Chains A and B, each alone.
Chain A
């Protein structure tokens, strides 16, 4: 009994001795993310960048003197898993905020719990757009930001007037190409073909023959990530298609593993590792120092996660605490300059972003061939301001 008492006193003394802790408990950040399922390839990189942000902030004294703490939960990349993950984070772990990159299905399934549990939610994945909730802010791109740089580059630099669109038959694939089509028509171009294959389809033969028949000036594709993307690229190469080709679904990592098959393909992203800014170089150095050989290459899904934690920090500092209403009021007004540049979620809960046009080189690396400063997300949530 006496012993336990002493231990308690010792612990209290130790706490008092470290000023960073003060008397406050840590601020808990919930990260529901697809550790299993479709997102399992990218999720580890998202968790790593969150860990770095938390470590850096804590080392510098935390937020309003309080330390940050991560609670990671697997949402299984889908709706059912997300409901469980959101419920347990909000009601059992009592997180102060949710910050995460997730599939659209998982995000939509989690939003009711966010509204009911009254927590702020920063969504860090690019998505098809127009998901609106007063508790949710988004710091990644929507079609209005990703597509125009590609089409503009093809129209101006390649003189492309006719386009062929190929996609996987699901919400994101169709949504991206529907926007692409309307944008092409808006700038006076013409879509000469638009074809889809089911997500598990692997034979693009007939579509490629139609593409060759249509003789377009340029090709734009938006397949599901991973297998369909690789299959289509291989079959296009096999068929000798050498048009200017933009792939809206390819990321640096996939491009690297595809190597020569992806050579010459254009991609559009808000983050590529080759961004020449001091913030990006510092970030990349810190990542490789912290994770060494286990580092998952930072990408367009993991970097927004890193920046979102800093944006939340800025909002809490401005609000003077973690109270949801005040944080939500502060979130659209704060800004953070990270690897992608200065980010502020100031436009209807979305963020104007600098977009980069990249071209895959023969060795699989991505060369930045153009950048478009502060591309506007457009009218995403006119009812939120």
Chain B
């Protein structure tokens, strides 16, 4: 029973962490290697919110807004000239991630920062105590997933984004301002990454390099999901389950590379990953 909860909550956390990367990859066709840096920015928004004496939950909207705004700046000045050069964009975003990490180090120091807990304590589930926050994180993943789906399916921006994903030249020919769609998508992706950063604070230490360890997993999941957010949900469940099961029954050291290895295997067998599922 504990195992099922571990799998579900792990999948939820993976989903929260990778959804922002998926949004950017789907529409912009660019792999945003600065994603980890935006997770870190979000977590430091929680640090700042705590210093300002705000309610810990207020860090969530704050991080979404600040992450989105910084994402807008990055898109305008750094990403936009590189849409036709996706390989250079990888280098540029990788570099941007390093710069952001160093700026955070300059501003806040290298040490681990402490943030107030969003939610502490345990709840009893089927006779066992379980971390209440992990269940909250699972709930947050569901809420974010549903909100994302509604945005894609139900709004003008979502419609335009889907048009850009399917055929950008045609979309532009039909009068869709694709540059604006790209800008807003990048801002939303960056905002979601920062939001995920806040949601991670009760689970991990907050330091300038905290995003790096989550970046590779998120990257692998998005590669397998290939721009489909339903496929991302499936990938998170399957790989999250694999990670938990291998960690539990074989070795946590193998478990920590499970996502990378399985993603490589899946892409070898089916280049489109889970997106046809």
Contacts and interface: CB of A to CB of B under 8 A. Distances in A.
A60 interface: no
B122 A254 contact: no
B252 A206 contact: yes
A207 B246 CA distance: 11
B52 interface: no
Given A226-B207, A227-B205, A234-B205, A203 B112 contact: no
A240 B213 contact: no
A235 B252 contact: no
Contact of B110 (A40, A228, A254): A40
Which applies to chain A's interface (DSSP): helix, strand, loop or mixed?
Answer: helix
B114 A203 contact: no
B253 to A, nearest CB: 6
A240 B112 contact: no
B134 A238 contact: yes
Nearest to A201: B256
A201 B213 contact: yes
Interface string B59-72: 00000000000000
A239 interface: yes
A209 B2 contact: yes
A235 B73 CA distance: 35
A169 interface: yes
B204 interface: yes
A195 interface: yes
A343 interface: no
B112 A226 contact: yes
Name the residue in A41, A169, A197, A234 with the highest tally of chain B Cβ atoms < 10 Å from its Cβ.
Answer: A234
A201 B207 contact: no
Specify which of A195, A203, A210, A228 lies most central, judged by the most chain B CB atoms within 10 Å of its CB. Answer: A203
Contacts of B247: 205-207
A238 B203 CA distance: 8
A209 B6 contact: yes
B219 to A, nearest CB: 15
A213 B2 CA distance: 9
Contacts of A235: 131, 203
Interface in B244-277: 244, 247-248, 252-253, 255-256
A258 interface: yes
Nearest to A213: B2
Q: For this complex, into which size category does the number of interface residues on chain A fall?
A: 35 or more
B133 A207 contact: no
Given A202-B204, A238-B131, A197 B256 contact: yes
A259 interface: yes
B129 interface: yes
A228 to B, nearest CB: 8
Which of A196, A200, A230 has the largest count of B CB atoms less than 10 A from its CB? A230
Given A206-B248, A206-B252, A237 B120 contact: yes
Contact of A238 (B10, B111, B120): B120
A231 interface: yes
A117 interface: no
Given A202-B214, A240-B121, A197 B253 contact: yes
B9 A205 contact: yes
B243 interface: yes
B179 to A, nearest CB: 37
A234 B253 contact: no
B202 interface: yes
Given A205-B9, A206-B248, A234-B204, A212 B2 contact: yes
A202 B200 CA distance: 10
B210 interface: yes
Interface in A120-140: none
B20 to A, nearest CB: 18
Q: Which of B133, B244, B256 has the most CB of A within 10 A?
A: B256
Contact of A205 (B6, B111, B112): B6
Contacts of B13: 203
Nearest to B115: A234
B142 interface: no
Interface string B97-141: 000000000000011111001001110000011111110000000
Nearest to B247: A206
A86 to B, nearest CB: 24
A195 B2 contact: no
A246 B128 CA distance: 24
Contact of A196 (B112, B209, B252): B252
Contacts of B248: 206, 209-210
Nearest to A259: B114
B256 A239 contact: no
Q: Which 6 A-B pairs have the closest CB atoms?
A: A206-B247, A230-B205, A240-B122, A227-B205, A238-B131, A239-B131
Interface of B: 2-3, 6, 9-10, 13, 110-114, 117, 120-122, 128-134, 202-205, 207, 209-210, 212-214, 243-244, 247-248, 252-253, 255-256
9 contacts: A200-B213, A201-B252, A203-B13, A207-B252, A226-B207, A231-B204, A237-B120, A240-B122, A259-B114
Given A201-B213, A240-B129, 20 more contacts: A40-B110, A196-B253, A200-B213, A201-B252, A201-B256, A203-B13, A205-B134, A206-B252, A209-B248, A212-B2, A227-B204, A228-B205, A230-B205, A231-B204, A238-B122, A239-B130, A240-B122, A254-B112, A261-B114, A261-B117
